[in-house]
Amino acid sequence: MNRKEYNSVVKSLSHRLYAFLLKNCKNEALVNDLMQDTFEKLWVNRKSVEVEKARQWLFTTGYRLMLNTIKRNQKTELRESISETAFFERKPNLIEQKDFIDHILSLLTEQQRAIILLRDYEGYDYQEIGNILSLSESQVKVYLFRARKKLKEQLKKNKHLVA
Amino acid sequence: MNIITKENIDKWLFDYFEGNLTFHEQKEVEQFIKNHPEFKDDFDAWSQTTVEETPVFYNGVNSLQKASFVQRNKSLLLLALLLLLVSGSGIGYYLTNKDQIAHKDSIVSLNQSISETNDNQKGVFEDISNTQQSPIISSNYQEEGASDSKKTSNQGSIIINGREELKNNITKDQIISPTSTSNYNYVSRWQNKTSKKVKQSKSADTYELDNVKGFIGSGDYDGLTSTSDDNNSQERKHIYLHRYQSTRIDATDGNRSDFSYQHISRNKQRRDRGSKNKSTKKYNSINDVNYSKSSNNKSLAKHIVRFFEKDLALTVYNNRVTMDNNLSTLQAFDGFAGSISKPRFQLGSKVTPGNELILNNYLSADFRIKKFGFGVLMTNYSKNITQNNSLFVEPLNRNNITVTSNYQLDLGKFKVSPFITTKIGFAEMSLPSYLDSSLTLNKIPKNQTGINFNTGFSLELPFMYLGFQANNLYALADNSNRQNSYFGPVSYRIVAGTDYRKFITTDVLVSPQIYTDIINGRVENNFALTSRYKGFLSGASYSTTNDAKLMVGMDVKRLRVGYSVSANTTNFDVISHEVGIQYIFSKRSSGYLVY
């Protein structure tokens, strides 16, 4: 990957990676740092990364950097965690489905959330998700099933509140 | 998952919405929901478990993109170009003046045809008066017993103005260290009617001028005047024989140099009877010049050691690098003497205008691999004498390459860094070799090499730092003769100091610094105060060697540009200007010293 290709990758993929990381951890400052670090790594390794594989490389690296950061700084509140009760108390009126899904996502584990986002936002298949998250295909499927089931149960339970 | 049951309906619905089922299986699921309406809610809920993408825009795209080298270093390249232009102008100025020096040297020749003048003997010394640029400027003149007309005969020439005035005419600018001056006694006596040798005198004198620690000068004079009268006119013939000899002993290196020359000039004057005007008919001038320099190889090598020692280029202590003094601007802003915790590249130029136009260019790179720090420094020093009044000239051009490395050892409250440095210097020492028959100063460039080894350690304590280094210097006085070499004694250097950094407001950082530098017992105390406001830097420093500096600088991303002006506070007649550029490769400090 040369400089021009790198710049083209930045232009086309930075928004997607940003959205993915931001959905995973709501801390904007942290996501900005992760973006800098991820693309800096891509720049350093540009000679060994093919343009076609840059997308997967970016998501893999970005996700791993995020996990490392989380591990390093357990005290950091990566995501606004509001309990279910508090969420519905705060929003007594009908809730937009988008907000509701956002809330449910926050209740998932980091891995489940990452799988759902990669699947629904990026359209990756199980194998690609497995490559990014270092999981087997069947593990991805199981985790995805559990995540969606959790969503489904919440949707079913609170369907009267969702607009 | 063969048959759809109430227990496994969730898995079927998951696959249904994931698109994992065949057409036939999809129909089976739909049929099951139709047959079991209690699962209709589950079906609807599963259909909503796909997260819809909401558009998110990242604002920092531009900051992630990489500019080309030219785009990225536009400001650096522009500044480098500017520096090149300044250096080029300096070199051009030097070359221009070099030509002028050569031209002036040629004027030294006393063997030029002496023009015939009416009135008085001014012409005889006219050329000598132009020898302000020559090594024999410091001549002294005494005249005894001469007639009134003779007493005024040499007016206009600096050499006849008497000793006191002569001394006053020699300014510090004209004395090049180590320097020498010569003593020139000139005695003449005029007699009428008979032709005979009239006087022979000897005198000796010693001057003590600045760096000349030892000087012995002596002058011999033989004056012979012939005068004859005829009926109609009075004709005087004068024959001057000037002999001059001086010996200079340099107290620093014990080097002895002898210089001698003799000058014979014939002068015939004719005054017609009844006429008040006398006319000079003819001048002849013969010069016999001999210059000898008795110096042994060791003493010359010692001399080289001395000037290399003055320039202990790269020293690492306290995990920091101090380079030549010429890096003052950038060093000051980096704490005591610069940190190599951040890999960086820097270049700059220092110009000291004046009689000795000094150019000092430097280029360095520092980098760090884990706990090992490395530094490379290249310097070029050139002294360009615009008025060469001394027989003894410092090296005109020298280049140094210095390589250093250190290791940072963290012992909790103490940080110890042993280091080792090697410096190789190549100098072109332009010592005057001899005066030729036309009294032109011939400078024979001699190439010398000096190798400086130094090692030591630095110690960083919570509130101060301490450094010790030992140096040994090997000098090769003449590259063509390896026997002409000298190992200098081991010298030492101790540095102790502290610096303090405090934000007096959220944006303004102030850092007072104080340190003592002891080199072979010579103590220098240094005080500095630097401040930073956002990207703007300023500072001032003073050393007990009477060296004062003012500095300004600016940070533009990873680029730092600095300017400093320094002066010796004893007389402020030597002012230096330095422009430096520093580029930090990485924002992150790879060492544990963070500034």
In chain B, count H helices and then E strands. Answer: 11, 24
- In this structure, the dihedral spanned by the alpha carbons of residues B63, B69, B74 and B78, taken in order and rounded to 10 degrees, is 160
Is residue B595, in this structure, part of any structural domain at all? no
Whole-number average pLDDT of chain B: 59
Number of structural domains (chain B) is 3
Confidence tier at B114 by pLDDT (50, 70, 90): very low
Same domain? B450 vs B576: yes
Q: Which of A117, A148, A159 sits opposite B49 (nearest CB)?
A: A148
pLDDT at B248 over 60: no
For strands B344-352 and B320-322, give the pairing. Answer: unpaired
The residue type found at B321 is: V
Angle between helices A54-72 and A126-133 (to 10 degrees): 40
Tell me the pLDDT band of A74, cut-offs 50, 70 and 90: low
Report which of residues A11 and B475 the model is more confident about: A11
> Is the bond leading into B178 cis (omega within 30 degrees of zero)?
yes
Domain of residue B503, CATH code: 2.40.160
**For the packed helices A28-44 and A3-24, what is the interaxial angle rounded to 10 degrees?**
150
Please check whether residue B72 lies inside any domain of the structure. Answer: no
Task: Label residue A162 by pLDDT band (50, 70, 90).
Answer: low
A91, A102 in Cβ contact below 8 A? no
Half-sphere exposure at residue B424, Cβ-oriented, CA atoms within 13 angstroms? 3
Q: Are residues B33 and B153 in the same domain?
A: no
- What torsion do the CA atoms of B340, B376, B345, A43 make, to the nearest 10 degrees? -80
Q: Which domains does chain A have, with CATH numbers?
A: 3-72 (1.10.1740), 84-157 (1.10.10.10)
Tell me the backbone φ, ψ of residue A77, rounded to 5 degrees: -80, 100
Answer whether residue B351 is part of any domain: yes
Place of tokens 């309990």: A83
The reply to whether B60 falls in a domain is no
User: CB–CB of B50 and A14 under 8 A?
Assistant: no
Contact A22 B53 (CB under 8 A): no
Alpha-carbon span B108 to B291, nearest angstrom: 15
**pLDDT score of B207:** 32
B343 Cβ contact list (under 8 Å, min separation 6): B365, B366, B367, B368, B584, B585, B586, B590
Rounded to 5°, angle at Cα B562 from B558 and B564: 165
In a domain, B437, yes or no: yes
- DSSP letters, B260-317, are EEEEEEEEEEEEETT-S-EEEEEEEEEEEEEEE----HHHHHHHHHHHHHTT---EEE
CA–CA distance, A107 with A101 (Å, rounded to integer):
10
pLDDT at B197: 39
d(CA B432, CA B373): 43
Residues B284 and B343 in one domain: no
Kindly determine whether residue A156 and residue B61, on different chains, have CB atoms separated by under 8 Å: no
B58 inside domain: no
pLDDT at B195 over 50: no
Same domain, residue pair B310 and B253? no
Tell whether B494 and B367 lie within a shared domain. yes
- Decide if B54 and A145 are in contact by the 8 Å CB cutoff: no
Name the token pair of B99: 């030509």
Model pLDDT, residue B16: 86
3-state secondary structure of B138: coil
Q: Is residue B56 part of a domain?
A: no
Domain end call among B244, B266, B292: B292
Distance from C-alpha of B497 to C-alpha of B459, rounded to nearest angstrom? 11
Q: What is the pLDDT of residues B270-299, one digit of tens each?
A: 555 555 554 544 444 444 444 444 444 444
Identify the pLDDT of residue B429. Answer: 59
pLDDT band at B160 (very low <50, low <70, confident <90, very high): very low
Burial class (CB in 10 A: 0-12, 13-18, 19+), B428: middle
**Res. B103: pLDDT tops 60:** no
Residue B165: the pLDDT is: 30
pLDDT class of B308 with cuts at 50, 70, 90: very low
Considering only residues B478 and A5, tell me which one the structure prediction assigns the higher pLDDT: A5
* Residue of A8, A155, A161, A162 to mutate, interface with B, max B Cβ within 10 Å: A155
Of A17, A121, A145, the CB nearest to B14: A145
Give me the percent of chain B exceeding a pLDDT of 90.
0
Flag whether residue A99 sits within 8 Å of chain B, measured between CB atoms.
Answer: no
Residue with tokens 């940072």: B408
- CA distances (Å), B17 to each of A107, B30, B36, B40, B521, in order? 22, 12, 18, 14, 86
Domain boundary pick from B268, B292, B316: B292
Neighbours of A66 (CB within 10 A): 23
pLDDT of residue B62: 78
Task: Assign B392 a pLDDT band (cuts: 50, 70, 90).
Answer: very low
Tell me, yes or no, whether B73 lies in a domain.
Answer: no
CA distance B342 to B582: 11
pLDDT band for position A95 (cuts 50, 70, 90) = low
Between the CA of residue B39 and those of B17, B529, B562, what are the distances in Å? Answer: 15, 79, 76
Say whether both B279 and B386 belong to one domain.
no
3-state secondary structure of A113: helix
| pLDDT value at residue B461 | 74
One domain for residues B257 and B340:
no
d(CA B380, CA B294): 30
Q: Which residues of B touch A3 (CB under 8 A)?
A: 66, 68
pLDDT at position A58 over 70: yes
Mark whether B387 and B438 lie in a shared domain. yes
pLDDT of residue B381: 80
Same domain (yes/no): B371, B424: yes
Confidence of residue B367 (pLDDT cuts 50, 70, 90): confident
Residue B346 and residue B238 share a domain? no
pLDDT at B119: 30
- What does the pLDDT look like over B65-87, one tens digit per residue? 777 766 666 677 777 767 776 66
DSSP B325: G
Task: Please state the rounded mean pLDDT for residues B453-465.
Answer: 75
Q: Which residues contact B194 (CB under 8 A, 6 or more apart)?
A: B227
Domain housing B483: 79-97+305-584
In a shared domain, residues B382 and B454:
yes
Provide the pLDDT for residue B584: 74
Position A62 pLDDT exceeds 80? yes
Chain A CA closest to residue B53: A121
Q: Which of B263, B292, B321 is the last residue of a domain?
A: B292
- Asked if B45 lies within 8 A of A155 by C-beta distance, the reply is yes
Q: Compute the distance between CA of residue B353 and CA of residue B480 in angstroms, rounded to an integer.
A: 34
Predicted pLDDT at B363: 82
Whether residue B170 is found in the same domain as residue B312: no
Amino acid at A133: L
- B434 falls in which pLDDT band (50, 70, 90)? very low
Task: Among A131-145, B305-319, B409-423, name the most confident range.
Answer: A131-145
| Nearest CA among B260, B271, B204, B258 for reference residue B231 | B271
Check pLDDT > 70 for residue B526: yes
Quick check: helix, strand or coil at residue B18?
helix
